[in-house]
C-alpha cells in the first residue's frame, strides 16, 4: 500500500503523541476532540503507555502534572472550555517547570460554544488564561501533517525547556482527513533511564547523595518566588529568540497582505488566487507560532507596493494586536473575520478584501 | 457525459442501496456520487432519494450537499433538526422511513462509520430485506485499520455483527483524497479483491475520482472486467487543498 496513510485529524494527533514519546494521557471527553481519548484508550496501553479517563479536566491536568513530575511524558487534549478549566494546572506546571504537551482542538465560543471550528482561543492560548507571570509556546498547524510534525517537536521542546507546549487547532482539523506520513517512534525511557535523562524528575531512583529533589509551585518567601519567576523568564527570553516561525508567500509586489494561521491560511490561499484573476496581487503571512509571535515576518513586507495588512481570523480580531505590533504603524491594519463557528466562503473574503482596498483609495 | 457508470440499472438491481464502511472509507462521497449518477437514469423507479443515517459524525455529512442534490431531483432525508450540528443530536426524523416505504423510489442509504455507525440499521431492519436491499461495504486500503486483509475483514465482520445481516459485496474505494492516483486505485483493487476472497464476497465496483484519474489510466481493471464507478469530490471544500 501507499507510504502515506489517510488519517482523521484527531486520530493522527493521538498517534503523533505516541510516536513522539508521550506515554501518559489523561483526559475527559469533549467534542470535537473525543476521538483523541478514544484512540489513545485503545492504542496507548498496547504501546507501553498509560491512559486514564479523568473525572474532569481539572483532574486530567493535575494527573499530567504528577506523571510528568515523575519523569513521564504527558500529553493532554481538550477543546476550548475544557482547556479553560486546565489553566490553573498549566500555571502551576510553568512555575514548577514541569513539561506537558497540550492540544486544543478548539470550538468556537464564548461559553459552551459549538463544535464548529473557531480561533477564538487565541488570547486564552497566547496570553495565558491562568494566573501569574508565565508563558506557554503555542504552535498553529495548518495541515494534519504539520500538526503531526509539531506534536513530535513539541514533546522534545517541552522536555528541553521544562515547560508546557501548546498546539492550537480547531474542530474542523480534528474531524477532517488527510493523507500523512507518520514519523519514526521515539524510544520510551525506562524507569532506570529517567534519572539520567531527567535529573530533575521525582523518579524515586536517584537519591543524589541525600539531596532532595523538589518540584513545587509554592514559594514561601516573596523573594524566592521572584527568583523563580526571573528564572523561568530567562527561558522565555531565549524561547522568544529561538521559537518564532512563519511562512511568507508572495509578499513582493503585493497590494494586500493577509495574515492568517491554521485552516484560515488555506482558505486565504484560494482567495489570493481569486484576487489574482482580477488583477489584484495579494500575499500571505502565516504564523506557525502564536507565542512567541513571529513579528520579524512583517519586516519582509514590500512597503513600496503593500497598501494594507489584513488579519483574517475565525475570531473577533483576537490576533490583530499582534499584527499591529508586527506592522509597527508602517501600514494600515484591517480585519476580516467570521465568528460563532462560521467559516467564511472564499468569495466572501475576496469581496471584503476588495472593499477594504477601495476604502483606502 | 459519455463515461457514465456502465449498466447502472442492472447493477442497481435492488431498490435500496445501503452503503456501510469504516471511517474514512468514503461512504458519503460514494452515496452522493451514486445519487447524482442515478438521478439521470432512475428507471424503473420514479424517484431517487438519499437517506443520510450518519448519526456518529457531525462533520462532512451528505445533508450538507442537500441543495445540490435537490437541484438534481434527489430528495435528501436525514435529521429534521436544523441545529443538528451544534446540538450534536444523534437523532433522526421519522421521515427517513418515507422513501424506504415507497416502492417507486430508489433509495441510497449512507450509514455512519464503523460498526457503531452501522448499528442504526437495526431500527430500519424490516426494509433491508434480501429482496429489496443491496448491502455494500466500502474499503479504503489506505486507512490505518484497513491496510491489512485481516484488519479489513475484522471491520466488515464487526459491521455485520452490528447489523445482524451479511453484506452482499464490497466496493474498492482506496484513495488518498486529492493525492489519489491511478496506482492508488489499482493497488487498492488487488487488495480489496483479497479481502473479498477472505470473506467470500464479490467486489462490486472500483471507485475513482474523476477529477484526478482518467478512466483510460485504469485499463488493467477494465480488462479484468471490473466495474468502474466515477466519483465527484463533492464533500471536501476546494480551499482545503490550497
Q: Which residues of B touch A267 (CB under 8 A)?
A: 239, 242
Q: What is the pLDDT of residue A322?
A: 98
Contact B142/A2, CB-based, under 8 Å? yes
Q: What is the pLDDT of residue B47?
A: 87
pLDDT in tens, B183-192: 999 999 999 9
**Alpha carbon of residue A33 to chain centroid:** 15
State how far the Cα of A187 lies from the Cα of A20, in Å rounded to an integer.
Answer: 9
A234 against B94, higher pLDDT: A234
Q: What is the pLDDT of residue B3?
A: 38
- The closest alpha carbon to B163, from B133, B202, B197, belongs to B133
Question: Where does the pLDDT of residue B2 fall: very low under 50, low under 70, confident under 90, or very high at 90 and above?
Answer: very low
- Superfamily of B8-235 according to CATH: P-loop containing nucleotide triphosphate hydrolases (3.40.50.300)
Q: What is the pLDDT of residue B80?
A: 46
Mean pLDDT of chain B: 86
Q: What value does the mean pLDDT take over residues B224-228? A: 90
Q: What percent of chain A has pLDDT over 90?
A: 91
ipTM above 0.90, yes or no: no
- The closest alpha carbon to A72, from A170, A252, A154, A193, belongs to A193
Shortest distance, CA B230 to any CA of chain A (angstroms): 20
**C-alpha cell of residue B12:** 442497481
pLDDT in tens, A292-344: 999 999 999 999 999 999 999 999 999 999 999 999 999 999 999 999 999 99
pLDDT in tens, A30-74: 999 999 999 999 999 999 999 999 999 999 999 999 999 999 999
| Domains of chain A: residue spans and CATH | 5-180 (3.40.50.970), 247-360 (3.40.50.920)
Interface residues of A toward B, Cβ cutoff 8 Å, are: 1-2, 4-8, 11, 15, 31-32, 114-116, 171-172, 175-179, 263, 266-267, 269-270, 273, 341, 346
Burial of A48 (0-12, 13-18, 19+ CB in 10 A): exposed
pLDDT at A168 over 80: yes
Contact A6/B147, CB-based, under 8 Å? no
Domain ranges of chain B: 8-235
**Alpha carbon of residue B98 to chain centroid:** 20
Amino acid at each position: 500500500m501507499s507510504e502515506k496513510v489517510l488519517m482523521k485529524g484527531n486520530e493522527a494527533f493521538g498517534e503523533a503523541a505516541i510516536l513522539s514519546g508521550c506515554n501518559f494521557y489523561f483526559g475527559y471527553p469533549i467534542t470535537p476532540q473525543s476521538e483523541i481519548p478514544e484512540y489513545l484508550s485503545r492504542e496507548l496501553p498496547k504501546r507501553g503507555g498509560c491512559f486514564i479517563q479523568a473525572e474532569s479536566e481539572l483532574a486530567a491536568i493535575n494527573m499530567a502534572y504528577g506523571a510528568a513530575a515523575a519523569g513521564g511524558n504527558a500529553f493532554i487534549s481538550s477543546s476550548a472550555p475544557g482547556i479553560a478549566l486546565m489553566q490553573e494546572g498549566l500555571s502551576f506546571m510553568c512555575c514548577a517547570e514541569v513539561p506537558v504537551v497540550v492540544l486544543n482542538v478548539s470550538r468556537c465560543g464564548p461559553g459552551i460554544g459549538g463544535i464548529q471550528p473557531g480561533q477564538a482561543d487565541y488570547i486564552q492560548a497566547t496570553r495565558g488564561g491562568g494566573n501569574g507571570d508565565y508563558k506557554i509556546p503555542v504552535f498553529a498547524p495548518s495541515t494534519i501533517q504539520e500538526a503531526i510534525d509539531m506534536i513530535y517537536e513539541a514533546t522534545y521542546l517541552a522536555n528541553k525547556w521544562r515547560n508546557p507546549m501548546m498546539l492550537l487547532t480547531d474542530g474542523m482539523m480534528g474531524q477532517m482527513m488527510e493523507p500523512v506520513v507518520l514519523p519514526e517512534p521515539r524510544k520510551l525511557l525506562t524507569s532506570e533511564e529517567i534519572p539520567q535523562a531527567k535529573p530533575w524528575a521525582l523518579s524515586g531512583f536517584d537519591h543524589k547523595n541525600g539531596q532532595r529533589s523538589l518540584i513545587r509551585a509554592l514559594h514561601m518567601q516573596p523573594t524566592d518566588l521572584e527568583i523563580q519567576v526571573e528564572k523561568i523568564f530567562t527561558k522565555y527570553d531565549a524561547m522568544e529568540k529561538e521559537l518564532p516561525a512563519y511562512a511568507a508567500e508572495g509578499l513582493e509586489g503585493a497590494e494586500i497582505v493577509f495574515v492568517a494561521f491554521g485552516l484560515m491560511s488555506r482558505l486565504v490561499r484560494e482567495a489570493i488566487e481569486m484576487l489574482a484573476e482580477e488583477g489584484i496581487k495579494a500575499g500571505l503571512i502565516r504564523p506557525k507560532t502564536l507565542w512567541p509571535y513571529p513579528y520579524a515576518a512583517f519586516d519582509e513586507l514590500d512597503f513600496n507596493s503593500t497598501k494594507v495588512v489584513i488579519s483574517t481570523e475565525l475570531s473577533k480580531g483576537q490576533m490583530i494586536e499582534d499584527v499591529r505590533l508586527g506592522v509597527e504603524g508602517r501600514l494600515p491594519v484591517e480585519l476580516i473575520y467570521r465568528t460563532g463557528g462560521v467559516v467564511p466562503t472564499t468569495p466572501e473574503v475576496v469581496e471584503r478584501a476588495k472593499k477594504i482596498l477601495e476604502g483606502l483609495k | 457525459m459519455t463515461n457514465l457508470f456502465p449498466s447502472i440499472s442492472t447493477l442497481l438491481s435492488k431498490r435500496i442501496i445501503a452503503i456501510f464502511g469504516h471511517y474514512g472509507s468514503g461512504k458519503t462521497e460514494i452515496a452522493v456520487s451514486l445519487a447524482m449518477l442515478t438521478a439521470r437514469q432512475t428507471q424503473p423507479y420514479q424517484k431517487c432519494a438519499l437517506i443520510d443515517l450518519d448519526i456518529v459524525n457531525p462533520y462532512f455529512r451528505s445533508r450538507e450537499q442537500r441543495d445540490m442534490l435537490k437541484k438534481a431531483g434527489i430528495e435528501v432525508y436525514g435529521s429534521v433538526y436544523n441545529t443538528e450540528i451544534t446540538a450534536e443530536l444523534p437523532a433522526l426524523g421519522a421521515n427517513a422511513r418515507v422513501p424506504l416505504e415507497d416502492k417507486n423510489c430508489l433509495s441510497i442509504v449512507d450509514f455512519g462509520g464503523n460498526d457503531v455507525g452501522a448499528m442504526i440499521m437495526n431500527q430500519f431492519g424490516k426494509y433491508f430485506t434480501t429482496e429489496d436491499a443491496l448491502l455494500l461495504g466500502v474499503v479504503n486500503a489506505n486507512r490505518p485499520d484497513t491496510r491489512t486483509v485481516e484488519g479489513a475483514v475484522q471491520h466488515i465482520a464487526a459491521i455485520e455483527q452490528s447489523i445482524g445481516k451479511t453484506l452482499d459485496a464490497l466496493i474498492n474505494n482506496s484513495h488518498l483524497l486529492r493525492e489519489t492516483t491511478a496506482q492508488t486505485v489499482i493497488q487498492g483493487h488487488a487488495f480489496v479483491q483479497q479481502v473479498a476472497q477472505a470473506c467470500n464476497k464479490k467486489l462490486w465496483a472500483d471507485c475513482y475520482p474523476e477529477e484526478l484519474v482518467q478512466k483510460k489510466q485504469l485499463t488493467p481493471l477494465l480488462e479484468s472486467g471490473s466495474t468502474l464507478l466515477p466519483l465527484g469530490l463533492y464533500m471536501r471544500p476546494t480551499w482545503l487543498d490550497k
